[in-house]
Structure 1
Amino acid sequence: MTLPLHTIGYEGSSIEDFLATLSIAGIDLVIDVRDVPLSRKKGFSKNALRQQLAGYGIDYQHLKALGDPKEGRIAARERRFDDFRQIYGEHLRTDEAQNAVDAAVTMANAQRACLLCFERDHHECHRLAVAIEMAKRADFRLIHIGVKRGVAPIRGENAKHGDFAFVG
């Protein structure tokens, strides 16, 4: 049975729109694949994000071993994407990263999961390589979602997971 595996980047989004997008997609688990899970954007650093997600009934797991090494992040920032892909590809072949991929596959087989990183465009982010590696090991259908703006989940006794309304 093919399972969905989502990916998302929070670049340019608010925490409210980010959380609403995950809720709409029915995500149960966010797998953070940032090497350093800190952010200058309010709400997106590891502990604050875990707390925000918990309020929506979404679990959080950080897998540091799947993060892009500093040299790769620099190459990507400088738009040297061939270098970036080579650096991350080498990193992904390490035993530590391979073990983390196995752990991510196990998690994504148990819950509707979404890989998280910063970049909005998955083609410019290492999470695409992680998702492809995971799909080689399990029957995943990759779904890359962009943060929707101006939506809010409907909350309350009668709300179902994924119910939403447009706001503004």
Structure 2
Amino acid sequence: MHELTHLDKEGRVRMVDVSDKEDTLRRALATGRIHMQPGVLHQILEGQGKKGNALETARIAGIMAAKRTAELIPLCHPLMLTSVRVDFTPDTEGSSIGIRAEVRTTGKTGVEMEALTAVTVAALTLYDMVKAMDKTMEINEIRLMEKEGGKSGAFMREPL
């Protein structure tokens, strides 16, 4: 079990000091899913939502959220992101949309929180865009899938 890095020896919350860490290429991939009624999924895929193109709005929201993660999560370091990509995979049989966010930077700390934030905000934006048509939507399966760079090395979740 690793020690909690956001606590000092007295148990007080602190921001981790990354001053002595080397700049390395950092990459994180997170995924999630939003489930909805089949008719709502069809309208999203056809771009028929009353508020406009839900997928493109959610893509922009996810990118913006990744860039502002340090403002949302108190102990995250503000990072200069070099790439944020948010993609969607519709599943008509499962009446859902898979959300995938990949974030990159060259720096002293990783981008896992930025990738997870991008997925979460993209899902919330999809919900907001079509909530008038389906209040039973569910957002779930948000998880870190891969991470590269840094002292702890690579992480890859086993396929589901």
TM-score, normalised on structure 1? 0.27
Name the one with the larger helix percent: 1
Bigger Rg, which one = 2
Between 1 and 2, higher relative CO (CA 8 Å, sep ≥ 6) is seen in 1
Q: Which has the higher strand share?
A: 2
Q: TM-score scaled by structure 2?
A: 0.28
